[in-house]
Chains A and B, each alone.
Chain A
Amino acid sequence: MQIIGIVGTAKNTGKTTALTSILDSLSKNEFSLGVTSIGYDGEDIDNLTFLPKPRIFLKEGVIIASSSLTFETSKIKYEILYETDIYTPLGKVIIAKVLEPGKIVIAGPNNIKDLKKIIALFKTLNTDFLFVDGAMNRMAPMYLADKVIFSTGASRSTEIKNIVEEISLISLIFNKNIMPQYDINNNCFFVKNGELQETEIKSLLTKDDLLKLFSYRPENYEKVVIKNIFSSAVVKEFVQEILKKKDTYEMVFLEPFRLLLSMNDITISGFRRMFTNSINISFIYKPSLIAITVNSFYPKYENFHFTAGYIDKYLLKKSVVEGVTVPVFDIFEEGSKDLVKLLF
Chain B
Amino acid sequence: MAKNILCVPLDPVHDVGLKIIRNALLNKGHNVDLLMPDLPNEEIINFALKKKYDYILVSRTLGYGVYELLAKFIDLCDAAGIRDTAKLVIGGKPITPQLAAELGFDKGFSSSSSIEEIVSYIEGKEITSDMNKYKKVKKDFISEHSYQFFNKEIEQALNIIADKFLNWAKDKTSDGILRAELMRNYITSGKKDSKAYEEYLKLCDEEIKVCNTGERYIKGVRVIEEDELLKLDNFLQNRMAYQPVKIQHSNTHPLIFKFLGSGCPIMDIVHGKICERWGVDGFLLINPSWEARYEGLLHNYLTHQNDGTITSLENILLVKKYLLDGTYLTVRAHRGLNTPETTMLAGEAGADMTKINLVYGSLGAGTDPERLGVDGLQAIKYAAEYNMPFDIPGNDELSGVPAYKTLAGLLINVMIGLKIGAKPIPKPLFCYGPHIMINGQMDKNYIDYNYAKIQALREIADLPIWPGEPIAFMTQSEERVQSANATSYHSALAAFLGVDAITIASTDEAYSRGPICVASRIDSLRAVQDAFKFIGDTKIEPTKMCEVYKNEMIENIYSVLSSVAREDNLPQAIYKGILGNKEEDGAYPGTFGKGTVRCK
Contacts and interface: CB of A to CB of B under 8 A. Distances in A.
Interface of A: 11, 38-41, 43, 47-48, 67, 69, 72-73, 87-90, 107, 110-113, 135-141, 186, 202-203, 205-206, 209, 228-229, 231, 233, 257-258, 261-262
B46 A203 contact: yes
Contact of A138 (B46, B75, B98, B107): B75
Nearest to A115: B78
Contact of A257 (B49, B74, B79, B104): B79
A16 to B, nearest CB: 13
Contacts of B103: 39, 136
Interface in B528-548: none
Given A38-B104, A203-B45, A229-B80, A90 B71 contact: no
Contacts of B49: 202-203, 205
Given A138-B74, A206-B42, A67 B101 contact: yes
Given A69-B97, A229-B80, A40 B72 contact: no
A90 B99 CA distance: 10
Contact of A141 (B46, B78, B81, B96): B78
A262 B238 CA distance: 39
Contacts of B96: 47
A48 B98 CA distance: 11
Given A89-B100, A137-B68, A228 B42 contact: no
B84 interface: yes
Contact of B101 (A40, A229, A231): A40
A39 B104 contact: yes
Contact of B79 (A11, A38, A107, A261): A261
Interface in B32-84: 42-43, 45-46, 49, 67-68, 71-72, 74-76, 78-81, 83-84
10 contacts: A39-B102, A43-B102, A47-B102, A88-B101, A89-B100, A113-B83, A140-B76, A205-B46, A206-B42, A258-B79
Contact of A228 (B80, B99, B100, B101): B80
Contact of A111 (B42, B83, B107): B83
B79 A90 contact: no
A112 B238 CA distance: 30
Contact of B76 (A11, A47, A229): A229
Nearest to B239: A73
B79 A228 contact: yes
A141 to B, nearest CB: 6
B361 interface: no
A233 B106 CA distance: 30
A89 B101 contact: yes
B59 to A, nearest CB: 16
A98 B531 CA distance: 50
B105 interface: yes
Contacts of A261: 72, 75-76, 79
A88 B106 CA distance: 5
B375 to A, nearest CB: 46
B69 to A, nearest CB: 11
A110 B45 contact: no
B108 interface: yes
Contacts of A90: 97-98, 101
Q: Which A-B residue pairs are the 7 nearest by beta carbons? A: A40-B101, A140-B78, A89-B100, A231-B42, A205-B46, A89-B97, A111-B83
Interface residues of B, number: 32
Interface string B98-122: 1111111111100000000000000
Given A88-B106, A136-B67, A228 B78 contact: no
Nearest to B87: A87
A298 B104 CA distance: 23
A203 B75 CA distance: 14
B57 to A, nearest CB: 14
A140 B43 CA distance: 19
A267 to B, nearest CB: 15
Contacts of B42: 205-206, 231, 233
Contacts of B76: 140, 229, 261-262
A257 B72 CA distance: 12
Given A88-B106, A202-B49, A228-B80, A139 B75 contact: yes
Contacts of A110: 74, 101, 104-106
Contacts of A206: 42-43, 46
Contacts of B100: 89
A38 B72 CA distance: 14
A228 B42 CA distance: 13
A61 B97 CA distance: 29
B78 A205 contact: no
Nearest to A232: B42
A132 to B, nearest CB: 14
Contacts of B83: 111-113
A89 B67 contact: no
A87 B80 contact: no
Interface centre among A111, A112, A203, A233 (most CB of B within 10 A): A111
A265 to B, nearest CB: 13
A107 B101 contact: yes
A40 B98 contact: yes
Nearest to A88: B101
A69 to B, nearest CB: 7
A113 B85 CA distance: 9
Nearest to A112: B78
A228 B46 contact: no
A39 B67 contact: no
A141 B98 CA distance: 20
Contacts of A209: 46
Contacts of A41: 102
A107 B97 CA distance: 11
Contact of A205 (B43, B72, B108): B43
A41 B99 CA distance: 10
Contacts of B108: 89
Contacts of B75: 137-140, 261
Contacts of A137: 68, 71-72, 75
A87 B97 CA distance: 12
A290 B45 CA distance: 32
Nearest to B83: A111
Given A111-B83, A205-B46, A261-B72, A136 B78 contact: no
A228 B72 contact: no
Given A89-B105, A206-B42, A73 B238 contact: yes
Contacts of A136: 67, 71, 102-104
Nearest to B100: A89
Contacts of B81: 186, 228
A93 B168 CA distance: 69
A228 to B, nearest CB: 6
Given A73-B238, A137-B71, A113 B84 contact: yes
A274 to B, nearest CB: 15
Given A73-B238, A89-B105, A110-B105, A43 B71 contact: no
Contacts of B99: 47
A136 B106 CA distance: 16
Nearest to A87: B106
A300 to B, nearest CB: 17
Nearest to A70: B101
A233 B46 CA distance: 14
Contacts of A257: 79
Nearest to A43: B98
Contact of B102 (A40, A112, A228, A231): A40
A163 B236 CA distance: 38
A39 to B, nearest CB: 5
A141 B71 CA distance: 13
A241 B170 CA distance: 106
Contacts of A202: 49
Given A47-B98, A136-B104, A229-B76, 13 more contacts: A47-B96, A89-B98, A110-B104, A111-B78, A112-B79, A113-B83, A135-B104, A136-B71, A136-B102, A140-B79, A203-B45, A231-B42, A261-B75
Nearest to A41: B102
Nearest to A114: B83
